[in-house]
Structure 1
């Protein structure tokens, strides 16, 4: 039996690495598309466009929720979300014939432009990129771990690439692309140029990917990065609700029996008194008598996400039960709120999204050209091995 050579083992090792390359390429490609998923939705779905030809003022999210509740009297609204100014707001609700539905409401005209009962393109791309659509079991997903482990692949590729490519900084001042010296040379030059010009992008993607991995471990370990919003005290409930609460088991929560004195619109005004520059982006109405209004949004910190500011308001007293703001965040909370803007390039609106998209294309191209070069070397090495074997047999 012929002895297995080290070269063959090395080639075999490379072929076994193919699934890693494939996952890495998919993650890069889906992430690139996810960066502009809002814009692609605007282009492809007219119902998602928040057109405002009459220059109407923007309605508040409580007003949009009321519009949906009037159109669907038996509906139960769970969430309202704001995206880009040119996209409609999304009001998520359930109804007797709709287990989960999303109402696309124009925040300027108040028109319900579409009812979506399936997965949206934005959610699909973000889910495919973040956890490859693997199922979630309890509080973890294997796909989420696989995607975030690619941060080590990216970081390793960056470090080893810079070590191999001597004097890489010359590509900034003297870029070299030799198109007349064959496919191998063109691929090598393209790969090197893209890699050098993407150093900053690779660092950002690696750092945020490593954070997502840490976050996944914390989730899996049931570690709470942000405390759950508090409930209203039983003593603050009206007499009828208070009596009903004492008659049921202590671990159950009574449903809403009457309209609370503090409305969602009131809660928004209270929030704006706390944060004058507050712009709501995620609102959750009350679900039961002890629940609080949850209002999250953005402020004047551009590197934080659209949920960095938050207030929970007591529906019976109007008291602010808890506050979320960048100045009071722990290190882990800060990381969780700055990771997404850096990862998806939303820190500067459409212009930074375009930059992130272009460098995402470069990164995807690098993974493809790198595989093509590796494949070419593997094929050539296999051919050389066959030629040498034939020559030895002839001798």
Structure 2
């Protein structure tokens, strides 16, 4: 292909759904620091202590005191210890977030399901359009691959231009936008490549899930056996602190950050955490417990995962940069901002090139109009749905404030 043909391919890929690509980059950048945005917005999202130790007994006492009659669905302590520990409660058939200090159990506040991180997550992952939205978003990874490959042919001898000084950015001058588009594209190339590869994995994963093809580690046999028994327990459910102690004894090196209660007594409690693995998300390491007796039903270790499950649990840390604390999150957010600018600058350049020859609607074409319509629809859909959180009718979890 000639340089001109590569340029046409590059322009087509960038402008085909330019508005949608820009918004996806923007929402992903904000989602990377969504919990930090919450941290800045309200003191209830801020931990008091910077200790990495979690006092489950103290958290349990706080919940028993302040939320009698409620039940715990999940408890999550973020990898970043400056963030509040989140407890998801079922209170009289409704949902409530409770925020506590992980190290001391002190109550920090409470709130609904709707919050900044939920809005950004729904918007970025699926446009709040379910299966179709996820397919649209993950398919953008194919366009990113086309853009990355074609850019190497469009920008001749690109390796010589990392330190080239760009022209002063002028809104009406296409050449100045082009200089910044090329320079920032070069410096963020590695990052765009990571986004493209992880996006491709999400696309493949979406296909596997749609086709109902198993591609993750099956639960341990004891968990399946318990589920098949389908018997109601006559014993009360395990308390938070008891579940923690049982899991810690079974998996001493596990830094426990998550406890999930089941809906029924024939389902397992899941305890998740980190185990000094590289680039693995929280669920890679877990302990399955009997919800009433605390007996260990199985242990999953991230270091023992086969290739495909390993890829599945590595994609998120690589995509959002949350694998090494605030430092990597800031790096990901910075290069995400560069990627957003590169995407937006490409659209601006395309318009400046043809604005004297055609109208904006004709330039956008059918695909451009659809992309803008999708963006607008996604904002409306997310605004309407991100506050919705249904709670299970039944939950096998201790009733808080009741004497054991």
- The TM tier, using the shorter chain, reads 0.7 to 0.9
2:27 counterpart of 1:30: yes
Q: Which residue does 2:236 correspond to in 1?
A: 259
Say yes or no: does 1:41 pair with 2:32: no
Three-state SS of the structure 2 residue aligned to 1:178 is coil
Number of the residue aligned with 2:396: none
- What's the offset of the Cα at 1:332? 1.8
CA distance in structure 1 between the aligned counterparts of 2:322 and 2:301, rounded to whole angstroms: 19
Q: Is the contact made by 2:47 and 2:83 (CA closer than 8 Å) also made in structure 1?
A: yes
Cα contact 1:264–1:293 (8 A) shared by 2: no
* In 2, Cα distance between equivalents of 1:186 and 1:60: 56
Q: Which protein shows a greater Rg?
A: 1
User: Does 2:290 match 1:314?
Assistant: yes
Segments of structure 1 that go 5 or more residues without pairing to the other structure are 1-10, 235-244, 384-395
Contact 1:56 1:109 in 2 (8 A): no
Which residue does 1:91 correspond to in 2?
87
Output one character per residue of 1:252-271: Cα deviation in whole Å (capped at 9) or x when no partner: 552x54326x6543432333
After TM superposition, give the deviation of residue 63 of structure 1 in Å. 4.3
TM-score, normalised with respect to structure 1: 0.79
CA positional deviation for 1:190: 0.2
Cα-to-partner distance string for 1:230-267 (whole Å, 9 max, x where unaligned): 54857xxxxxxxxxx9xxxx88552x54326x654343
Match of 1:106 among 93, 101, 108: 101
Match of 1:369 among 342, 345, 353: 345
2:118 counterpart of 1:129: no
Instruction: Answer whether contact 1:281 1:307 (CA < 8 A) is retained.
Output: no
CA contact (8 A) 1:77 1:92 kept: yes
Alignment partner, residue 144 of structure 1: 134
With a CA cutoff of 8 Å and minimum separation of 6, indicate the structure with the bigger relative contact order: 2
SS in 2 for 1:288: coil
Equivalent-residue separation in structure 1 for 2:197 and 2:345 (angstroms) = 24
Report the number of matched residues: 346
1:220 positional shift: 1.2
Corresponding residue for residue 189 of structure 2: 199
Asked if structure 2 preserves the Cα contact closer than 8 Å seen for 1:303 and 1:342, the reply is yes
1:78 matched to which residue of 2? 73
Q: CA deviation at 1:333?
A: 0.9
* Contact preservation (8 Å) 2:261, 2:291: no
The 5 A counterparts of 1:235-384 are 253-254=231-232, 256-259=233-236, 263-315=239-291, 318-382=294-358
Q: Is the Cα–Cα contact under 8 Å of residues 50 and 106 in structure 1 kept in the other structure?
A: yes
1:104 counterpart SS class: strand
Equivalent in the alignment of 2:199: 209
Q: Distance in 1 between matches of 2:85 and 2:254?
A: 17
Change (3 A) 1:21 1:167: same
